[in-house]
Structure 1
Amino acid sequence: MEVKTNYYYFAIVLAIFTITLPANAEYFSKTTPAKLPVLKKTSLHFYLHDILSGKNPGAVLAAHPNITLGPPSATPFGSVYAIDDLVTAGPEANSTVIGNAQGLYLSSSKDTLSLVLYVDFGFTSGKFNGSSISVFSRNPIMERNREVAIVGGRGLFKMAKGYAKLKAYSFDMKSGDAVIEYHVVVYHY
């Protein structure tokens, strides 16, 4: 009888340890002070060629609403475009290519032309080759002076924050083709 009692007590003790073990376990985390390098400021100036027309467009309609809202437009409300646009040093189509802009934009206003923009500007030549900056912001197209937010980056632009001032260099209302001038200020480590 004593052997059965010992097994009984052993089973109770084992059950108690099993129940209390997870309650005493803690997530381990160690926080140490960061030794960040000096914050740098970089100014960039380039042109984005957003071409919707022709045989090799840089922006294509990826999704559209099944209803018609708002005035006729190359980018009607609710439309989502995927882009892989050229980024050049100058506004001309044959200007030196310095990278590309890949991402999405969504026509986000029923009454005016306004986009929500997610674009990663990847640089493929020069000092910033292999680096990029990321924009995620509202882009009110009809405003003469507009600004979008730089929310990140990679390569030489790790942990980037900043802004870009945009101005239409050229815009074709019929096709939606545009060349946009970007003046960018990036803060990064």
Structure 2
Amino acid sequence: MKLKRVNFVCFCALLLCMVAIAFLRQYCTMPLLPYHMLEKETVLHFLLHDTPGGSSPSAVRVVQANGMAHNTSLTPFGTIWVVDDPLTEGPDLKSTVVGNSRGLYVSAGQEELMLVAYLDFGFTSGEFNGSSISMLSRNPVTQIEREFAAVGGRGKFRMARGFANLKCIFFNASNGDSIVEYKVVVRHY
């Protein structure tokens, strides 16, 4: 008799749980995300033209640390540059412009040439026109190949995260002009 009573109590408890789950399901389930909200992966390739020299520079020194006025290095420790560098499809500055890189470089290495860069890659043509990817990373500029972290974005790159492989394909040591190839992989919504 006791076994029948235990079975009946278990059956009632199970039935009560099923009814509660059915009732609460309408409040607890997450709707399926629409297609435009599913995570995507995008691979981009472009070249950045950084021109601190010449009559129309794209990188300008705006802060220099005290006591560094005598330092003739292009990047003395504690120096900050503001940049607005064009992004192109090819290595020639006259090739198709796909956007620009705007942000800051801070010289943060005392023992080595090390920049910390915050850059916003804004795209002005093609499928990603009006969208951007934000990069924040250290930039060991003496290394030909290096990597940046993609930490955000807007527009079609909302909530972006990923990385960029950089390769310096041209550098002028006398004035700091450079062309850097970017291969970017980002995941976004």
Same-fold status (TM-score > 0.5) = yes
**Aligned-residue offset at 1:35:** 5.8
Return the offset for 1:67.
1.5
Give the Å deviation of 1:145: 2.3
Shift, 1:90, TM fit: 0.6
- TM-score, L = length of structure 1: 0.79
Residue equivalent to 1:161: 161
Aligned residues: 158
Structure 1 residue runs of 4+, over 3 Å off? 32-36
Partner of 2:99: 99
Residues in 2 aligned to 1:179 and 1:50: alpha-carbon distance in whole angstroms: 6
Partner of 2:59: 59
2:10 paired residue number: none
Q: Per-residue deviation at 1:33?
A: 5.6
* Correspondences of 1:1-150 after superposition (within 5 Å): 36=33, 37-68=37-68, 72-150=72-150
TM-score (norm 2): 0.79
Deviation at 1:72, TM superposition (A): 4.4
1:179 maps to 179
Query: How far apart are the structure 2 equivalents of 1:74 and 1:64?
Result: 11
What secondary structure sits across from 2:156 in the alignment?
Answer: helix
Structure 1: 5+ residue stretches without partners: 1-31
* Aligned CA distance change for structure 1 residues 145 and 52 (closer, same or farther; 3 Å): same
CA-based RMSD: 2.0
- Distance (Å, rounded) in 2 between the aligned partners of 1:34 and 1:156: 22
| Percent identity for Structure 1 against Structure 2 | 52
Q: Distance in 2 between matches of 1:166 and 1:73?
A: 23
Q: Distance in 1 between matches of 2:155 and 2:55?
A: 33
Gapped regions of structure 2 (runs ≥ 5):
1-28
CA distance in structure 2 between the aligned counterparts of 1:134 and 1:97, rounded to whole angstroms: 18
CA distance in 2 between counterparts of 1:85 and 1:34 reads 43
Report if the CA contact (8 A) 2:59-2:81 is conserved: yes
Please tell me whether the aligned partners of residues 88 and 99 of structure 2 are also in contact (alpha carbons under 8 angstroms).
yes
- Once residues 97 and 185 of structure 1 are traced to their aligned partners in structure 2, the CA distance between those partners, rounded to angstroms, is 20
CA positional deviation for 1:123: 0.3
